[in-house]
Amino acid sequence: METFKSLLVILLSSVLVNNYVLSRFLGICPFLGVSKKLGQAVGMGISVTAVMLLASAITWPIQYLILDNLGLGYMQTIVFILVIAALVQMLEVMLKKFSPALHKALGVYLPLITTNCAVLGVAINNITDGYGFLESIVSSLGCGLGFLLAMVLFAGLRSRIDESEVPKQFRGLAVTLIAASFISLAFMGLAGIVDNLFV
């Protein structure tokens, strides 16, 4: 029961409190670039979640079974980037074959997952935080779901902004960044709630 509770805390914390986009400000490029349409935002969110999960499932054993045993811990970032790049290439091939419309809609942003600092940040933070394999997978799932939630919320907000009368000085990127900051502030208000749920 304690294990389940700790995994649930990790999951909810990753989604709501330690949201990589809204609290840690990682992965901002696809957050701003692909959140104009809900379909694209959902597709990107699911793609990033899949890459985060696979990356953590592969990088955790690489770190503990290969890099640490061979004294090559300093190679962590390079190795993790190579693993993530390979995963993104596999994802791109699969999307091209099974969902050409989504592949075309994501366009240039799909290869950007390779350089998405949120994906690399999750893989490295799982090691730094001392998570075991299962905890790393749950953390990655939570971070991916948090990314997806942020994308969907922001896509909805941007569609409302497009329909609204925005003062000339705030049109374009200015109102987009202001809206993002309001969502971020709302998520910062959730700090402490997850821990208090399980006291």
Q: For 35-76, write each residue's pLDDT tens digit.
A: 778 888 888 888 888 889 999 999 999 999 999 999 998 999
**11-37 core/surface letters (b: 16 or more CB in 10 A; e: else):** bbbbbbbbbbbbbbebbbebbbebbee
**pLDDT at position 56, please?**
93
**pLDDT at position 194, please?**
63
**pLDDT at position 125, please?**
93
Distance between CA 112 and CA 27 in Å, rounded?
Answer: 10
Within 10 A of 121 (CB to CB), how many other CB atoms are there?
A: 17
**pLDDT at position 53, please?**
92
**pLDDT at position 80, please?**
93
Q: Quick one: 144 exposed, middle or buried, by C-beta within 10 A (0-12, 13-18, 19+)?
A: buried
DSSP letters of 31-64? HHHS-SSHHHHHHHHHHHHHHHHHHHHHHHHIII
Q: Quick one: 100 exposed, middle or buried, by C-beta within 10 A (0-12, 13-18, 19+)?
A: exposed
**pLDDT at position 45, please?**
87
Closest C-alpha to 27, from 102, 113, 86, 88: 113
Q: How far is CA 115 from the centre of its chain?
A: 12
**pLDDT at position 195, please?**
59
**pLDDT at position 197, please?**
62
DSSP state at residue 169: G
Low-confidence ranges of the chain (pLDDT < 70): 1, 109, 192, 194-199
- Torsional class of 131: left (φ above 0), alpha (ψ -120 to 50), beta (otherwise): beta
**pLDDT at position 57, please?**
94
Radius of gyration of the chain (CA): 18
**pLDDT at position 30, please?**
78
DSSP letters of 53-107? HHHHHHHHHIIIIIITTTT-GGGHHHHHHHHHHHHHHHHHHHHHHH-HHHHHHHT
